Structure 1
């Protein structure tokens, strides 16, 4: 049967989490399943013991291959290096500080063989530093009526979608250098696919708040998101993307950039005004014909971006934050059971064209 699934694991400065990640990929596999899965770990010139740990792990487990990069290239290009060596029909990009819950590989293999999609979306939980597991806000979209419009709203990451390798080659879809490398990759993968299936099962635990993670680091490098969105729109232009999809992508872009702007863990106060100005610039540059601001509080922020009114945005943000401090949560976010029913209907994305 050969290799069905290549799991690409880029590795950099994660020695405290690396072995748990690798073990979670291999756990519980039968000899037949083990033969259907290859793991390619890419040592992105990690400054800690990760390189040596990978070599030792590969010597013990024959299905793990290690690539050592001579210099640090970043997450996206490290993924590309692993992808270039992949032999599986499908590829899954798993970050080395995250884990797969038990049974995930088996469930994915079974679903891939059953439906043979171009892309298989899976659900995930957010894992906090204290071990608490939290449902992602976009997870309910996986359980609803499947459509491209709906699925574009699922968190746009590489690790929640298993992709037919041929689709990436046919459409020249690779990761770009820099932060926010998922932006011009994850949604084009869905748009280019002829058949998208949903495995509405938690198959990934995404670690949040880890020191050193992009989402927990204040840096001017968050401005790199704008270049990534420009690359995304160039891809949309080249591929004659339908107007309805362009409208959806534009709204999601503005929403995402506003999240980054308002996040104190990412955005230092002195960068917030110039970042907001860049959002307004992106808004003018990429706004598609027929766009209307969404309803509710999101629509208020969209209109402030359209007006390039940072003063009012800052006042509105302060009001929301004050209201949030006054509210006390009555319960923790719900958990997703490992026994969540599996969605059975694949999505024919080509029907939107």
Structure 2
């Protein structure tokens, strides 16, 4: 990926996670502590380094709350912090970065740096307010230790997630970290009735989950989502309002693949989502592969396909981002 792509992808992913964390406590401005929480969730080397140090999302949230409480107490305020709730970012609006958090992200893309999560984490470790230093001390570590591990991690391929987008093949893959055990994530992905919790186009699955194991080739009827989380209506053509969901591959707790088709459309493409799971420090690492198979009844001229490649690339990347984000939010 180019430097611009690296920076844009990282900025989007961190912004989304940080603003989701801010939304849990009713805030609309994501600050440096929310950026730290987003980095703990990162699938890139920055997140892997933090989690290898024993820093989990739960412990990092607790350290942030303790630091905020200590700051309020130092000002003579003992009323406590607002209660933490669920993520409501996608149901609300008006979110933005604080000036100091935005400055950290901008510095991470300056000079010869690519704006990766490791670059952002490195800049965050030297943020002058002292808040991050105090939070890390509550986590029994310090900025210097984090920086040393970041530098060391850059030399190991195990710390380099695989991302790829192939617009010519209408496919792409992305890695994601989920803050839950493999067994918990598997139950979510394996259950047909829970697909609407993580697949953004599905509103509901007809019927209940079978009592026993499900088998390759089994199908379920689904209704396409016609309303966004914020309540705004989506314009969905009638022939795309029903989907068939089929299990096409399954290997206990390690791999699952679902196929999505539109039975009422003679020209609709076929979508396949393949997810591999493996244990990771503090949770589960996912490798998500998305592919659109062209319908034989749908003919597209090569020159039109070539012109559309930038849009296809963006669309595939956005769909992968929504899938990984949807799975992660279930466990946050």
TM-score by length of 1: 0.28
Higher strand share: 2
TM-score by length of 2: 0.29
Larger Rg: 2
